[in-house]
C-alpha cells in the first residue's frame, strides 16, 4: 500500500518568510503569513516573531470560528489576524494569505492620494490573472488605522461589494496583502507586484507616463 504524507503547511510558510526576509520585504518582525487547512482553520505566524528565522512553534492555529486552537506557550496570533479572517471570509476559495512590508509598496502608496493605485499595463499582470489587451487595472488602497480591526472592517466593507481586479490590496504606508489558491500562488503574486512597484517607482523618477498606449 502506498502512503501519502501531507506536508505541514507551516514548512512552506517558514521557507517563504525566510525568502521574503532575504528580499527585504519581511525585515525584523514585519509581515504575517497564513495558510488554510482542510477544515478551514488556518495557521498564522505568531505576533512579533523574527520573520527571517521562524520555527514550527512560531505559529498559532485559528479555528474556522475564530478560536485559537493551538499555540506554543505565550504565543499570540499575529496582530493582523483579523485581516486574514476577512480575506478568507470574502474569498473562500483562498488557501493562503500573505502580508509583507516593502519599501516600493510604501512608496507607490504615496504616489497617489485616492483609494486606488492605477497599475501600468504590463505583461506581468497576466500572472495576477489579468488577461486583457492594454488592461486598465487598479489596486485598492486602504488607510492605515492604528486599530487593525478598523482596517479589516474597511477591507470587508469595500471588497465585499467591489471585488478587486487582482487578488491584492495595499495599506498606505504599511504594506501589501495578497491571497490565492496556494502558498506558491501567493509568493508569485508578491514577486509580480514587487516588480510592478519597482517599475512604477522607476518610471516616476524618469517622468514616464506609464498609462499611455504606444
Ligand atoms: C514592525 S511590524 C509592525 C506590525 C505589523 O504591521 C506586522 O505586519 C507584523 O505584526 P505581527 O503581529 O504579525 O507580528
Ligand atoms: Zn503589517
Candidate of 24, 26, 47 to mutate for ligand 1, largest count of ligand atoms within 8 Å of Cβ: 47
The residues that bridge with 117 in the sheet, in sequence order, are: 139
Q: What percent of the chain has pLDDT over 90?
A: 91
Q: What is the pLDDT of residue 71?
A: 82
Residue 183 C-alpha from the chain's centroid: 11
Dihedral angle sign, alpha carbons of residues 77, 10, 50, 177: negative
Burial class (CB in 10 A: 0-12, 13-18, 19+), 214: exposed
Residue 85 lies in a domain: yes
Residue 3 lies in a domain: no
Question: In which domain, by residue range, is 146 found?
Answer: 9-208
pLDDT at 2 over 90: no
Domains: count for the chain:
1
Residue 126 lies in a domain: yes
ipTM of the complex: 0.99
Give the model's confidence band at 73: pLDDT under 50 very low, under 70 low, under 90 confident, else very high: confident
Residue 180 lies in a domain: yes
**What predicted TM-score, i.e. pTM, was given to this entire model?**
0.96
Residue 17 lies in a domain: yes
Q: What is the pLDDT of residue 207?
A: 86
Q: Could you identify the atom of ligand 1 that is nearest to the CA of residue 48?
A: 14
Residue 95 DSSP code? -
Burial class (CB in 10 A: 0-12, 13-18, 19+), 162: exposed
Residue 22 lies in a domain: yes
Q: Which CATH number fits the domain that encloses residue 63?
A: 3.40.225.10
- Ligand 1: centre distance to CA 73 (Å): 19
Q: What is the pLDDT of residue 214?
A: 67
Residue given cell 495558510 in the structure block? 35
Distance CA 64, CA 39 (A): 7
Q: What is the pLDDT of residue 49?
A: 97
Contact status, residue 70 vs residue 44, Cβ threshold 8 Å: no
- Ligand 1: centre distance to CA 115 (Å): 22
Q: If you average pLDDT over residues 114-143, what whole number do you get?
A: 97
pLDDT at 72 over 90: no
Contact status, residue 162 vs residue 143, Cβ threshold 8 Å: no
Q: What is the pLDDT of residue 3?
A: 72
Q: What is the pLDDT of residue 32?
A: 99
- Residues within the annotated binding site? 99, 101
Residue 214 lies in a domain: no
Q: Could you identify the atom of ligand 1 that is nearest to the CA of residue 76?
A: 12
Residue 138 lies in a domain: yes
Amino acid at each position: 500500500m502506498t502512503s501519502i504524507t501531507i506536508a505541514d503547511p507551516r514548512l512552506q510558510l517558514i521557507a517563504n518568510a525566510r525568502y521574503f526576509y532575504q528580499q527585504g520585504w519581511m525585515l525584523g518582525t514585519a509581515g504575517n503569513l497564513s495558510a488554510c487547512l482542510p477544515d478551514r482553520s488556518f495557521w498564522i505566524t505568531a505576533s512579533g516573531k523574527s520573520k527571517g528565522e521562524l520555527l514550527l512553534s512560531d505559529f498559532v492555529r485559528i479555528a474556522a470560528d475564530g478560536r485559537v486552537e493551538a499555540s506554543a506557550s505565550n504565543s499570540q496570533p499575529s496582530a493582523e489576524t483579523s485581516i486574514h479572517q476577512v480575506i478568507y471570509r470574502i474569498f473562500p476559495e483562498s488557501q493562503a494569505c500573505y502580508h509583507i512590508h516593502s519599501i516600493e509598496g510604501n512608496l507607490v502608496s504615496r504616489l497617489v492620494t485616492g483609494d486606488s493605485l492605477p497599475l501600468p499595463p504590463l505583461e506581468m499582470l497576466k500572472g495576477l490573472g489579468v488577461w486583457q489587451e492594454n488592461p486598465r487595472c487598479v489596486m485598492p488602497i486602504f488607510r492605515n488605522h492604528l486599530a487593525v480591526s478598523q482596517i479589516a472592517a474597511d477591507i470587508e466593507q469595500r471588497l465585499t461589494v467591489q471585488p478587486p481586479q487582482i487578488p491584492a490590496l495595499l495599506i498606505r504606508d504599511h504594506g501589501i496583502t495578497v491571497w490565492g489558491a496556494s502558498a506558491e500562488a501567493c509568493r508569485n503574486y508578491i514577486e509580480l507586484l514587487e516588480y510592478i512597484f519597482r517599475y512604477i517607482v522607476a518610471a516616476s523618477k524618469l517622468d514616464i507616463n506609464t498609462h499611455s498606449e504606444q
